[in-house]
Structure 1
Amino acid sequence: MLTAPPLTPAAVMSHPAVLNAREEQALASASRLYALRRRINADSAATDVPTVYVVLYALTDPGVSPREHLAEPQGLALAHGYLVRARFCDIADGIRSGWAKAQRAIAEGHAHGIVASSCTAVGGSDQQYELELHWLARHRAALWLVRPEPAL
């Protein structure tokens, strides 16, 4: 008769990496913002529309093709079955007219949400990002990110 060898605990247990205070604060903030965005998305989904229309948004560095930065949000929209109404892009450290157009599409009822690559494309700081989330909440619009907040 064959028997399996007994299970023995590892001699040395691995301890999780210790975070410094700044890293812990950043993780707590990212987790809070992630939870806020999830709640906003759940509220916007309560409208129960048959087709979800979205706009794609990207923030690029100068000289970089917007096509590259819009590819991931496009893939996420397609994976969820959302229909893309428009694509907007801004250059980092420039005027954010593309973001204003994305917001206008939401405010005018042409889209139910925005798909972006990350929260840094939406707001340059946690405070700015949170302001944008609250704006979306007031308009019952969603924000989908290719890379969620805690992933950054």
Structure 2
Amino acid sequence: MLTAPLLTRPAAVPRRTALDAREEQALLRASRLYALRRRINADSAATGAPTVYVVLYALTDREVSPREDLTEQQGLAHAYGYVVHGRFRDTVGGTRSGWAKAQRAITEGRAHGIVASSRAAVGGNDQHYAFELHWLARHRAALWLVRPETAL
């Protein structure tokens, strides 16, 4: 004969600690940047294109292969049905020639936007990231991130 296991009281669930003021401000800024990127993406030329062309962009440490980042980005592009036009990479602390090539693909009309792993790959701080978002907006281009701004 089968018997039901004895029910036990669950262990106390630890309460989440409140965010400190600095963390709360960082989350608020990230949320604003996320909203800005979403608005730029909604206004981009990609919204009306029958085929959306994108470039993948990775920023990695010198000794780290960009393969994992580019694979994640390729998966995101594939999930949305976008066609990958190119793949570019820069290393942390180096020149941003890969980012310049990604931008050139947009200005020359070969791509509708850029797919990156996170906002850290696009801009090193909030101001630089916002600057790049505004550049994309002026060119009616989109930016898709594998990890949204609020995930950092």
TM-score (norm 2): 0.88
Do the aligned partners of residues 46 and 56 (structure 1) sit closer, same or farther apart at CA in structure 2, a change above 3 Å counting? closer
* RMSD, matched Cα: 1.7
Structure 1 residue 45 displacement after superposition: 5.2
Please give the secondary structure, in 2, of the residue aligned with 1:86. strand
The residue type paired with residue 29 of structure 2 is S
Identity %: 74
Gaps of 5+ in 1: 1-11
2:118 is the counterpart of 1:118: yes
Offset of residue 68 of structure 1: 2.1
Q: Give the match for residue 5 of structure 1.
A: none
Whether the aligned pair in 1 keeps the contact of 2:46 and 2:142 (CA below 8 Å) is no
Contact 2:113 / 2:143 at 8 angstroms: preserved in 1? yes
Structure 2, unmatched stretches of 5+, are: 1-11
Relative to structure 1, the CA distance from residue 45 to residue 106 in structure 2 (aligned partners, 3 Å threshold; closer, same or farther) is: closer
User: Post-superposition, which runs of at least 4 consecutive aligned residues in structure 1 deviate over 3 A?
Assistant: 12-16
Query: 1:24-63 CA distances to partner (integer Å, 9 max, x unpaired)?
Result: 1100000000000000000015751100000000001111
Q: Secondary structure at the match of 1:58?
A: strand
Deviations 1:109-148 (A, max 9, x none): 0000000000000000010000000000000000000000
Counterpart position of 2:39: 39
Aligned pairs, how many?
A: 142
Query: Aligned partners of 2:40, 2:53: CA distance in 1, in Å?
Result: 16
